[in-house]
Amino acid sequence: MRAIRTRSQERILNLLKTIKQGISAQEIYLELRNCNQNMGLATVYRSLEALKLEGMVQIRTLANGEALYSLAQQDRHHLTCLQCGISIPINQCPVHNLEDQLQANHKFKIFYHTLEFFGLCNQCQNDQAAEISQ
């Protein structure tokens, strides 16, 4: 049974359907204002929280603490550089079998999962090595 959604939640879902990558709550707020769909920032956050609890929206928190929201359509996996912030998507998932086992063993409904590795990208490693050799 589908939850009854507010007009604000529907507007946010419609916006997220048109955006292919994660977007911050502030960016959602600005995008809606640009489309003449005024909504307060607090309403954006409340709507995102309700959509998250429904399993419709997923959150990815970056190394700098910024939260990015997207539709909960697929699991996301990334390599994230702690120095420059670049985020490289990983297209394979090593934990799908674990997810299935957890759902069965704990009778826990999993909406999505994220897997993120933090370190230094190749460019930042090269920059660091150049600094050391000088």
pLDDT digit string, tens, across residues 46-71: 999 999 998 899 888 877 888 999 88
pLDDT at residue 121 is higher than 90: yes
What pLDDT is recorded for position 95? 84
* CATH class of domain segment(s) 1-73: mainly alpha
- % of the chain beyond a pLDDT of 70: 96
d(CA 57, CA 107): 21
Report which residue type is found at 14: N
Measured CA to CA in angstroms, residue 107 lies from 12, 39, 81, 113 at distances of 30, 38, 35, 16
Q: What is the mean pLDDT of residues 88-97?
A: 83
Whole-number percent of the chain with pLDDT over 90: 44
**Start-end of CATH 1.10.10.10 domains in the chain:** 1-73
CA separation for the pair 76, 91 (Å, rounded): 8
| Residue of 96 and 14 predicted with greater confidence | 14
Radius of gyration of the chain (CA): 18
CATH code 3.30.1490.190 region(s) in the chain: 75-134
Alpha helices for the chain (secondary structure H)? 7-18, 25-34, 41-54, 96-106, 122-133
Output the average pLDDT for the chain.
88
Q: What's the topology of domain 75-134?
A: Dna Ligase; domain 1 (3.30.1490)
Count the Cβ atoms, other than its own, within 10 Å of residue 66.
13
Q: Please tell me the predicted confidence (pLDDT) of residue 75.
A: 67
The structure's pTM equals 0.65
